[in-house]
Structure 1
Amino acid sequence: MATALVSQIIGCGSYLPERVVSNQELATRVDTSDEWIVERTGIRQRHIAAEGELTSDLACHAARRALDAAGVLPAEVDLIILATTTPDHTFPATATRVQAMLDTRNGFAFDVQAVCSGFIYALAVADNFVRMGQVGTALVIGAETMSRVLDWGDRTTCVLFGDGAGAVVLRGAVAALPDAQGIPGRGILSTHLHSNGHLYDILRASGGPSWTQTVGHMRMQGKELFRHAVVNLASVVEETLAASGLAQKDIDWLVPHQANLRIIDGTAKKLGLPKSRVVTTIDRHANTSAASIPLALDVAVRDGRIKPGHIVLMEAMGGGVTWGASLVRW
């Protein structure tokens, strides 16, 4: 009988560009104010990549910190998956550039593009490779330079996004039996992915290689996106808990995609979780798309909130429209 494997997160890391742009600074460029932005989004500032600082640079910094935290050498990595919607180039995959920067010569590397849901998608793909025994150690990164696709004259979008990167290291281990409370052992317990291509246009970039041969700018139907986010995130959270045989009371921490504080608060309320058990970084990071969950995760691990044995729920929704959730025992 084959031994059941599970993916354990053994280290995480993150990186933010040095430059910080406050709401007050944005108010000197577009018709907005600190009060307007905070009231509608919860955002107070965002980090912006320096000129010449690429998505691969951010990804590499976060990856190195995750590897250091895990005590893993780059040579031990079998797989690199980079979730990004802002790659260095149209092709090749930015993950292969990170592979070279880390001097990781084993295995393979590729990008995953699911916008704000990208990290959850990448985590699910890596988890499957590990569970199948095809790789032993995987590096999953979410990295974005969203500032490069923003229309800085559009106050409905330019105030929402920032740049950054986060990463986790997965390693395969023999699945442990549930504890006395029936909660499974350490590792990724369940991941669920969804998309609805009929909603393709409500969050997109206005360009593309096969359309305009330009990158284009962010375009978003905010009210429509918000409406679908509330419904879809609640549904996928219920699905994820049911698949793991756990209840809402078993969740120690919610680490949501940092898109809008009202969405975060709404999801927590549906789960019956107090704000004290929700990891929120949107005020400092803004929406960093695929980087937001691993950034927030790393903050909560390093400040000691997330501890071994804790049940951590991660969820996100992004363009496509895509959404998903993952449940992890730390």
Structure 2
Amino acid sequence: MVSVVDFLQGILRYSAPDRASHGWARMCMYQASDAMDSAGRLAGLIAAQLAVDGLSRKGIQKLLHSNEERLRTAEPPRLPGLSYRKEDLSRMPPWIYEQIQCSATVVSLGLNQVVDKSQGKSQKWFRHCLYQLSLIMDELGGLNQLIAAVHADIMDRDTLARYQHLFQQRPRSEMPNSEDKAYLAGLQGRAALQGRPTTDAEATWELIGRSHARTRKSRPGDSHESRVLQALAALDSTLRPLRWKISDGKVLDRTRNTAVAHLNAITAVEHYEEDFSPLHWLPPHERHLAEKVAVSVFRADTGSFSQSTDAKYAESRGDGR
């Protein structure tokens, strides 16, 4: 889950107005694809546990909503009435920027639901978690399809396949596979798939599982993982009255702005670039919202947010402002 948030931060950074120029489509598709596959790895892990517990494959597929998933594709459906040339997309269109923020919001709120349900006392926790993970994967798959569709007349099929990491995509209809079961075995400290030799991939995922089990026990309270969970919890608390208020399939502006601010706040307290303070690449109003969240959620030192950031950054670009 932390990996999904990390990739969301990457999408937001590469779609920010000052960075959304050359390469924005490639980088956003990379990050959205990896976020989708990270969510899929967690879904596969839960599915593997359900299989160990005796749930049938048909029952698991029903919980994963595999019959309606939105996969990434190198042949995306065309957008009616829209056709772009290469020069039209030298910078990210504003409506795509808004959609990226909406998708980041939906995914963030879904992740918090996964955390909440997995810690609850409900015996049906896995049903809620797999439902939310399915929604998250489909949202990210749809975002990839959108960016690919906009570039359908510009990029060839092989390029779109490479940018979307199709080589690593796993349909939910294939979950859980042997790698999911090996990962689960590693987390639980037992040998994977006893009774027959494991493949290199299975052995790798068992080793990753063992490594994750060790680091989970020794994670400090001020770790990146803890900050991510803290930000998701704070976001949930802030938006609880408005969580799913969506009009015509569109996330409300207030909800979107708040969710994006919480994601950017994590960046604000963890990253510095050269001589610039965090988030110097954001528009002033988005940076201001993120800094407020950083102060309220993480008790960030307000002195770390330089008042001269705009002037310093403009000077570095030769704008003279």
TM value normalised by structure 1: 0.22
TM value normalised by structure 2: 0.22
Hey, which of these two has a bigger chunk of helix by percent? 2
Hey, which of these two has a bigger chunk of strand by percent? 1
Structure number with bigger Rg? 2
